Structures are given as C-alpha cells and as structure tokens.
C-alpha cells in the first residue's frame, strides 16, 4: 500500500509500479513548475535591470529586500550598504529623501 497525504485527507492505494510511477511523475511535474516560475521571475528582474525600467510599488522596499535575498545574494550588513548596492544594480532606484544611517 502507498499512502498519499494531502492537507485534509490521506489516500491509501494499492502498491504497484504504475501507481508509484504516477506519484513520482506528479511530484516531478510540481517541482519543475515551481522551478520554471522562479526562473520566470528572475528573467523579469533581468529585463527590468537591462532596460533601466522604473518600478513603482506599495511597500516596495520590503519587496526589494526579499527579491535581493532570493535572487541576487546575501543582504549587505547595513541599510546604507543595501541602498547603495540596490542603487548600483537598479540605476533608477532612488531611496526617499530621508537620511539613511
């Protein structure tokens, strides 16, 4: 028997090669879909970078921190360094007029 867990139930099915292959294939497809979605976002970021596009958003600073940590590398140790590296990477990025310390 093979058990397949979902959020709200457990399914028990007969254990045979076909069933195992179907489960493996479904897991592989789900994984590949998630990888392709991530690659797609990375391509969008590269296009923004390559074309010096302006990005406007609500709470965009939080988004930049997340995007940087997930797609570009480790976050710099200080806010000032982060603002500098983002401004170098995205020339159209201008932090607010407030002093960054």
In this structure, what token pair is assigned to residue 12? 């028990």
Place of tokens 């603002």: 83
Q: What is the structure's pLDDT at 48? A: 80
Q: What is the structure's pLDDT at 28? A: 92
pTM given for the model = 0.50
pLDDT in tens, the chain (101 residues): 555 566 777 777 677 777 778 888 998 999 888 887 777 777 887 888 788 777 777 788 888 898 889 888 899 999 989 988 888 887 776 665 455 55
In 1-101, which ranges are continuous DSSP H helix?
17-50, 60-67, 79-89
Place of tokens 């997930």: 70
Q: What is the structure's pLDDT at 74? A: 92
Torsion of CA 32, 38, 40, 43, to 10 degrees: -130
């Amino acid at each position: 028997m093979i058990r397949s867990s979902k959020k709200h139930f457990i399914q028990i099915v007969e254990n045979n090669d076909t069933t195992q292959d179907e489960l493996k294939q479904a897991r592989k497809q789900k994984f590949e879909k998630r990888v392709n979605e991530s690659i797609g976002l990375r391509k969008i970021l590269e296009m923004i970078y390559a074309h010096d596009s302006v990005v406007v958003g609500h709470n965009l600073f939080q988004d930049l921190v997340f995007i940087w940590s997930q797609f570009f590398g480790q976050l710099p140790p200080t806010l000032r360094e982060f603002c500098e590296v983002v401004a170098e990477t995205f020339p159209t990025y201008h932090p607010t007029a407030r002093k960054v310390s």
